[in-house]
Each structure stands twice: as C-alpha cells, then as structure tokens.
Amino acid sequence: MTGTRNSIHAWLLVLPACVLLATFTHVPIVTTFIHSLYSTPRPRRPSRFVGLDNYEAMLADPIFWKALGNNAVYALTSVPISIAIALIMALFVNGKLRGKGFVRLAYFTPTVLPMIAVANIWLFFYNPQYGLVDQLLRPFGITGVNWLGSQSTALWCLIVVAVWKEAGFFMIFYLAALQNISPDLREAAAIEGASRWTFFWRITFPLLMPTTLFVLVNAVINAFRLVDHIFVMTGGGPDNSTSVLLFHLYTVGFKFFDQAYAATLTIVLLLILALIAIGQFLLADKRVHYQ
C-alpha cells in the first residue's frame, strides 16, 4: 500500500512536466504528421487527404536531396571540428595560465553574440573588396574572391562561422568536467611515470566521455537547426549550394506557403534527428562510463 501511495505521489509530482511536454512536443508532432497526409488548402480548394503523396513528392524533389546532402556535409564537418577545438580550448584554460579568466571570456564571447549579429560580422569578413579575409590573404596573391558567391566555397564559409560560434559554448561543458576530475589521479599517474599524453588518453578522455556524448548530441541537433546565419549571409544560394533542411523547410512553408509539404519536411527532419540521437546513445553507451 505504501509503495502504491509513493508511486501515485511520484506521478503527481511529474504530471505538470508531462503535461507541458506532451502539449508542446508530442501533440504538435502528431498534428504535423496528420497535416503531412493532407494537401495544402487553397482559397477555392479545401484541404483533402492525399496519403503519402507529399512524401513521394519530397523523394522526387532534387532540392530536398541537395539540402540533405548540404546538411550532411555541414554536420559531419562542423560537429567534430567544434568538439575537438572545444576540448583543446578547455584543456588550455584549465591549466596554469596567467589571465585565465580573460582567455575564458574571449573563448566564450562568440557564444553570447546573437547569430544575426555574428552573420553580419562575418559578412564583412568575407567581403571580396575590403573584408578581413581578403586583407589577410592579399600578401599571398589571393584577392577579390567572392567567398559567399561561389558554390565551391559558400558552404565551407558557413561551416567556419558555425565552428567559431559553437566551440566556445561546448568548451564550457568540457571545462566543468575537467574541474571535476580529482587531482589525485594526476599525482598517481605521475608517480607511475605516465606521460601527459598517456594520462590524457587513458584517464582524462575516458572520464570526459559522458560530457562528450552530451556535447555530441547537442552539436548534431544544432547542425540541423541553425538557419538564421544562412538566411542572412547567403539566402541558401548560390544555386541552393548552402540550402539545408531547415532552410528548405522555411522556404517551402513561408515563401511558397505549401504548409503540407513543409509539414512533411518537418516530420522527416524530426525522424532524422531522432535516429541520429538514438544511434549516438546506443553506439556510445559502452564507452561513456569509464571502468
């Protein structure tokens, strides 16, 4: 009887959170999936059930595949680079360093800047006439390159912006994890004659695996949901070379007002993120806890 009463009390405590989660997460997902099975209503043509027609149209849409490929390149490049730089910065500012607080602030500053402001700053950097990148490369004979106007460089330029902004944010988590590692472990490793690299690879890095998994999941989600700097810097161009799934979804839903197709893209995007997150947890579960 006591166990049943405790279970009821526990469920009552989590009930408000469950209601909010269902109201703002699960119900919209189900509603969006239902909308993806209908056509977009028009002034003289009401919405009607079309089944999987929207999904078939999506699979036949070359822009969708282009956006998906761009998103894959964007994620596979920006995520590991951001995490690696974040870990290096955390290791650097966690050591004995003069002006440690100032260095940490400098690393973290890009994170607190609004993405729209960041995009405008980098628009100036990439300007082919007087931008900072042009000024730095001019002594090497490279000048007047339209970085954001070329299909071969535009996406990579956006990746640089994403890494610059995300690395400082992920550094904070690594720094907090490093400060929770007992200094006794380093002393014991020094007594055993372990090198700094051995200590990092055999002790520090395995202990950071829970943090790495957390950062990895968030980095992948960010790679699929960041769209504001693309909107400001390239508008998805040139020739959809910087269009990603979320930007394509925005274009379909708010420029072409095709809500049914936009709902279809939303479901596919959510499904991709769910599969990636589940895969990350399943594959990394055995390596997260250090034994």
List the chain pLDDT tens, one digit each, 291 residues: 566 777 888 888 888 888 888 888 888 888 989 988 988 888 888 888 888 999 999 999 999 999 999 999 999 999 999 999 999 998 888 877 777 778 888 888 888 888 888 888 898 899 888 888 888 888 888 888 888 888 889 999 999 999 999 998 999 999 888 888 888 877 787 777 777 888 888 888 888 888 888 898 889 888 888 788 888 888 888 888 999 999 999 899 888 888 899 999 999 999 998 888 888 777 766 666 545
In the prediction, which pLDDT does 115 show?
A: 84
Give pairs for 198-203: CB < 8 Å, separation 24+: 200/91
In the prediction, which pLDDT does 197 show?
A: 83
| Assigned domain for 195 exists | yes
> To 5 degrees, how large is the angle CA 243–CA 166–CA 216?
90
| Assigned domain for 10 exists | no
| Assigned domain for 12 exists | no
Q: How far apart are CA 31 and CA 219, in angstroms?
A: 27
Q: How far is CA 80 from CA 86, 112, 178, 210, in A?
A: 10, 21, 19, 16
8 Å CB contact between 100 and 89: no
Question: Structural domain of residue 232, as residue ranges?
Answer: 62-288
CATH number of the structural domain spanning residue 131: 1.10.3720.10
Using CA atoms in the order 275, 281, 284, 286, what is the torsion angle rounded to 10 degrees? -130
In the prediction, which pLDDT does 287 show?
A: 61
Specify the number of domains making up the chain.
1
In the prediction, which pLDDT does 2 show?
A: 66
In the prediction, which pLDDT does 74 show?
A: 93
| Assigned domain for 253 exists | yes
In the prediction, which pLDDT does 132 show?
A: 85
> To 5 degrees, how large is the angle CA 62–CA 57–CA 250?
70
| Assigned domain for 242 exists | yes
In the prediction, which pLDDT does 133 show?
A: 87
Q: How far apart are CA 225 and CA 220, in angstroms?
A: 9
Q: What is the pTM (predicted TM-score) of this model?
A: 0.86
| Assigned domain for 52 exists | no
Task: Give which of 184, 175, 195 is closest to 94, Cα–Cα.
Answer: 175
pLDDT tens-digit readout, 266-287: 999 999 988 888 887 777 666 6
| Assigned domain for 131 exists | yes
| Assigned domain for 108 exists | yes
